[in-house]
Homo-oligomer: A and B are copies of this chain.
Amino acid sequence: MRKVFQEELTQVGEQLVEISKLVSEAVEKATTAFVGADIDLAEDVIAADARIDFLQNSLDERAIDILALQGPVASDLRMIVGSLRMSASLERMGDLARHIAQLARLRYPATVVPAQLRETFKSFAEQDLLIAEKLTVLLETRDLEVAREIMKANAAVNDLHLSVFKAIARSDWQESPATTVDVALASRYFERFADHGVSVAQKVTYLVTGAWQPSAIEHS
């Protein structure tokens, strides 16, 4: 019985890793589509998001079954409840990658971002992809050094987000209202993606150390 239970816990962990890999793939394609105005890649991301949603539901059902049938306590219980929360964050990261892809599709064949901000959004894309990839490693290894790298990338993303809003507020900003809105929303999507990544990293840290780090993470 105990052995079956441990196997089930392991499977939940593996399913989190699987979702995390799909999120990496989604954000890599979405940001490439976004920066390079690639409609096929954008369509790929939009279509593939349903798979992430399906896997989240399936993980949640499995976690609830374990709660019902095994009645886990202590650290096992924390791990199951933590998994429910991490799967919700990963699912939202998938949604945000889809939002980025949808913006790329909406403006195709034009690019969403004007020339002056292209480098900024390339950096955004790099940092978000880095966060997604590190998250998979963190879920696999529980190496807290990786969690710290995620926090660092998130700080870089916050700086980029701020720089976009400063650029829009400058007197030499000449873009159309539609472009202005696109840029602001896209910047928020990139920033929220990173924030949810931090949220998952903090939950892993909590499960490993037992110590919760209070944070100013926004979940909305």
Q: How many copies of this kind of chain does the complex include?
A: 2
Q: Contact check, B64 vs A68: say whether CB atoms are below 8 A apart.
A: no
Q: Does chain B have a CB within 8 A of A115?
A: no
Do B180 and A177 touch (CB < 8 A)? yes
Residue of B nearest to A167 (CB): B177
User: Is A213 interfacial (CB 8 A cutoff)?
Assistant: no
Residues 47-99 of A contacting B (Cβ, < 8 Å): 64, 67-68, 71, 73-74, 77-78, 81, 84-85, 88, 91-93, 95-96, 99
Q: Known contacts A84-B84, A184-B184, A192-B220; is A73 also within 8 Å of B78 by CB?
A: no
A contact set with B: CB distance below 8 Å: 64, 67-68, 71, 73-74, 77-78, 81, 84-85, 88, 91-93, 95-96, 99, 165, 168-169, 173, 175, 177-178, 180-181, 184-185, 188-189, 192, 196, 218-220
